[in-house]
């Protein structure tokens, strides 16, 4: 195998064996100029191949993946920010609505309480008036009833007195004297 | 038991591809490991899926992508992203071939100067051609730093020009020497373990503990170096390209 290589050193057979020998024992391989051409050609082929693979396939692919991830992350962050803004706006709207509802509720409460108070006052006043009227009427009725009763009592007393006198004396007393006597005793 | 720390760097032709002039072009073990590196990178980048939530392999692919992209943006600005495929290819090629190379019995592509020189020259000429094409003669501003007094300007310019043309040398030798030295050191220390064991018997096996521990520690260091040298190569490429993009630094 080394033979073909040693051949590179020169066309002469002598140089051939010399190169071969130097190759394995005495020579320092990195300074062995007979191997330079092979190494340079291989390096050119493989480095150019690598460069083409790297520039046409590898870097676009890996770079694309990184960029896609970056875009995805940025998009997701923007989306998250948007949603956060939305939720904050919703929260603010909710709080505003809550506050206005609370104040409205308070206003309605105050209003209805005032109205109820006013109504209650009016009703109480009407009721009091009614009651006062009824009371006055009742007092009047009582007074009249008492007057009537008193006059009835007088009649009954007169009747009773007449009856009693008749029973006791057998004489029917005249009504005028009985009435006078009853009046006198009622007064007395 | 003979330690041969150099054997691991041998180029073994596997089959012949053809001839250019009187050079035989062979598919060698080095070619095989370049192919393996390209295959691993392609698998990692292409077969790892494009899920919204990445799996492990996809995470590695995306971390590599973003690591290099951030390095370029940080050192050469958004304009530097034009060279993203080049820098990504360089970084991944060196990093993966280095990491494969520290597996025992494998071959390290970057342990050969010709490979690192070729890669450094690709960078050098990219900088030179792009810089001239984009900036025209303004590109030569990179040799004339701001705020240097006139009387030492020629000296500074001489140093700047020299350092510009020495860039591919330092760029390539740094990577090559790191990989070469690391692998030789690993092999030497690992060889001590076997040598002690075979030559001194039981005492040797006990004595071999120390070089074994050193080998383990060196191996860990070499994993770091494999990545770090790829990163250094890539970031120097970015810095050099930044000169071509923004020559009036």
Residue B27 at interface with chain A, using a CB cutoff of 8 Å: yes
Measured between beta carbons, which residues in chain B are less than 8 angstroms from residue A69? 52
* Nearest-CA distance A108 → chain B (Å): 58
Residue A57 at interface with chain B, using a CB cutoff of 8 Å: yes
Residue A99's pLDDT band, with cuts at 50, 70 and 90, is very high
Measured between beta carbons, which residues in chain A are less than 8 angstroms from residue B114? 30, 35-36, 39-40
**Residue count (chain A):** 188
Residue B143 vs residue B66, higher pLDDT = B66
Identify which of B186, B211, B6 has the alpha carbon closest to the alpha carbon of residue B104.
B186
Please give the backbone phi and psi of residue A163, each rounded to the nearest 5 degrees, phi first: -60, -45
pLDDT at B195 over 70: yes
Residue B224 vs residue A21, higher pLDDT = B224
Residue A180 at interface with chain B, using a CB cutoff of 8 Å: no
Say whether A50 and B62 touch across the interface (CB within 8 A): no
Measured between beta carbons, which residues in chain B are less than 8 angstroms from residue A28? 6, 9
Residues B42, A53: contact at Cβ < 8 Å? yes
Residue B240 vs residue A166, higher pLDDT = B240
Question: How confident is the model at residue A10, as a pLDDT?
Answer: 37
The ipTM assigned to this model is 0.90
User: Residues of chain B with pLDDT > 90: what percent?
Assistant: 58
Question: How confident is the model at residue B249, as a pLDDT?
Answer: 57
Residue B172 vs residue B248, higher pLDDT = B172
Average pLDDT of every residue of chain B: 90
Chain B residues 181-210 with a CB less than 8 Å from chain A: none
Residues 6+ apart with CB under 8 A from B106: B33, B100
Say whether B42 and A50 touch across the interface (CB within 8 A): yes
The whole-angstrom separation of Cα B192 and Cα B182 is: 16
Chain B residue nearest residue A53, CA to CA: B42
Question: How confident is the model at residue A8, as a pLDDT?
Answer: 37
Weakest mean pLDDT among A43-57, A126-140, B9-23, B61-75: B9-23
* Average of per-residue pLDDT across B43-59: 87
**pLDDT tens-digit map of B135-185:** 888 888 888 888 888 888 889 889 999 999 999 999 999 999 999 999 999
Residue A6's pLDDT band, with cuts at 50, 70 and 90, is very low
Residue A188's pLDDT band, with cuts at 50, 70 and 90, is low
- CB atoms near residue B159 (< 10 Å): 13
pLDDT at B188 over 80: yes
Question: How confident is the model at residue B7, as a pLDDT?
Answer: 83
pLDDT at B4 over 70: yes
Question: How confident is the model at residue A25, as a pLDDT?
Answer: 44
The DSSP line for B149-165 is: -GGGHHHHHHHHHHHHH
pLDDT at B52 over 90: no
Say whether B45 and A11 touch across the interface (CB within 8 A): no
Separation in Å, CA A19 to CA A5, A33, A44, B21: 9, 10, 25, 18
Question: How confident is the model at residue A101, as a pLDDT?
Answer: 94
pLDDT at A102 over 70: yes
Residue A19 vs residue B69, higher pLDDT = B69
Chain A residues 18-47 with a CB less than 8 Å from chain B: 23-24, 28-32, 35-44, 46-47
Chain B residue nearest residue A69, CA to CA: B52
Identify which of B247, B51, B9 has the alpha carbon closest to the alpha carbon of residue B145.
B247
What the block records as the tokens of B113 is: 């100067």
Question: How confident is the model at residue B83, as a pLDDT?
Answer: 93
The whole-angstrom separation of Cα B142 and Cα B123 is: 17
Residue A185 at interface with chain B, using a CB cutoff of 8 Å: no
Question: How confident is the model at residue A179, as a pLDDT?
Answer: 81
Chain B residue nearest residue A6, CA to CA: B24
Residues 6+ apart with CB under 8 A from A40: B114, B118
Chain B residue nearest residue A23, CA to CA: B10
Question: H or E segment at B16?
Answer: strand B13-20
Weakest mean pLDDT among A35-44, A47-56, B6-15, B100-109: B6-15
Chain B residue nearest residue A68, CA to CA: B52
Residues A35, A9: contact at Cβ < 8 Å? no
The whole-angstrom separation of Cα A176 and Cα A28 is: 180
Residue A70 at interface with chain B, using a CB cutoff of 8 Å: no
The whole-angstrom separation of Cα B156 and Cα A4 is: 50
Question: How confident is the model at residue B53, as a pLDDT?
Answer: 85
Residue B11 at interface with chain A, using a CB cutoff of 8 Å: yes
Measured between beta carbons, which residues in chain B are less than 8 angstroms from residue A46? 31, 34-35, 37-38
Secondary structure of B196-234 in the HEC alphabet? HHHHHHHHHHHHCHHHHHHHHHHHHHHHHHHHHHHHHHH
The whole-angstrom separation of Cα B120 and Cα A179 is: 162
Average pLDDT of every residue of chain A: 82
Question: How confident is the model at residue A26, as a pLDDT?
Answer: 52
* Average of per-residue pLDDT across A103-112: 94
Say whether B22 and A37 touch across the interface (CB within 8 A): no
Identify which of A142, A150, A145, A144 has the alpha carbon closest to the alpha carbon of residue A187.
A150
Measured between beta carbons, which residues in chain B are less than 8 angstroms from residue A13? none
**pLDDT tens-digit map of B204-226:** 878 888 889 999 999 999 999 99
pLDDT at B200 over 90: no
- CB atoms near residue A47 (< 10 Å): 21
Residue A98's pLDDT band, with cuts at 50, 70 and 90, is very high
User: Residues of chain B with pLDDT > 70: what percent?
Assistant: 98
């Amino acid at each position: 195998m080394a033979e073909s290589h040693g051949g590179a050193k020169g066309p002469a057979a002598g140089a051939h064996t010399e190169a071969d020998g130097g190759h394995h024992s005495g020579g320092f391989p990195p300074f062995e100029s007979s191997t330079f051409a092979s190494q340079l050609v291989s390096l050119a082929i493989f480095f150019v191949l690598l460069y083409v693979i790297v520039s046409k396939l590898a870097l676009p692919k890996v770079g694309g993946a990184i960029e896609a991830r970056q875009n995805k992350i940025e998009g997701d962050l923007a989306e998250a920010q948007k949603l956060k803004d939305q939720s904050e706006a919703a929260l603010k709207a909710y709080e505003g609505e809550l506050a206005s509802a609370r104040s409205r509720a308070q206003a309605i409460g105050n209003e209805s309480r005032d109205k109820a108070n006013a109504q209650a006052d009016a009703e109480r006043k009407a009721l009091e008036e009614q009651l006062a009227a009824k009371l006055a009427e009742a007092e009047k009725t009582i007074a009249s009833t008492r007057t009537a009763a008193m006059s009835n009592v007088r009649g009954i007393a007169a009747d009773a007195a007449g009856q009693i006198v008749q029973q006791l004396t057998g004489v029917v007393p005249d009504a005028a004297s009985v009435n006078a006597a009853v009046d006198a005793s009622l007064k007395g | 038991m003979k330690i041969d720390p150099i054997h691991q760097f041998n180029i073994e032709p596997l089959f012949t591809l053809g001839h250019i002039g009187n050079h035989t072009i062979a598919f060698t073990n080095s070619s095989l490991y370049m192919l393996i590196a390209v295959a691993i990178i392609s698998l990692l980048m292409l077969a790892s899926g494009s899920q919204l939530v990445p799996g492990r392999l996809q995470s590695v692919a995306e971390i590599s992508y973003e690591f290099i992209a951030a390095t370029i943006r940080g050192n050469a600005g958004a304009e530097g992203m034009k060279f993203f495929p080049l820098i990504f290819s360089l970084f991944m090629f060196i990093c993966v071939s280095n990491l494969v190379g520290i597996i025992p019995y494998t071959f390290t592509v970057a342990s050969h100067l010709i490979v690192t020189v070729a890669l450094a020259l690709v960078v050098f000429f990219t900088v030179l051609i792009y810089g001239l094409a984009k900036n025209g003669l303004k590109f030569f501003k990179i040799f004339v730093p701001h705020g240097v007094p006139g009387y030492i300007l020629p000296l500074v310019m001489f140093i700047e020009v020299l350092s510009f043309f020495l860039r591919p040398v330092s760029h390539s030798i740094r990577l090559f020497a790191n990989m070469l030295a690391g692998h030789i050191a690993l092999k030497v220390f690992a060889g001590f373990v076997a040598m002690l064991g075979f030559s001194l018997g039981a005492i040797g096996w006990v004595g071999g503990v120390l070089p074994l521990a050193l080998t383990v520690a060196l191996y860990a260091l070499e994993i770091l170096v494999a990545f770090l040298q790829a990163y250094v190569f890539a970031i120097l490429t970015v810095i050099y390209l930044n000169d071509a993009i923004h020559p009036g630094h």
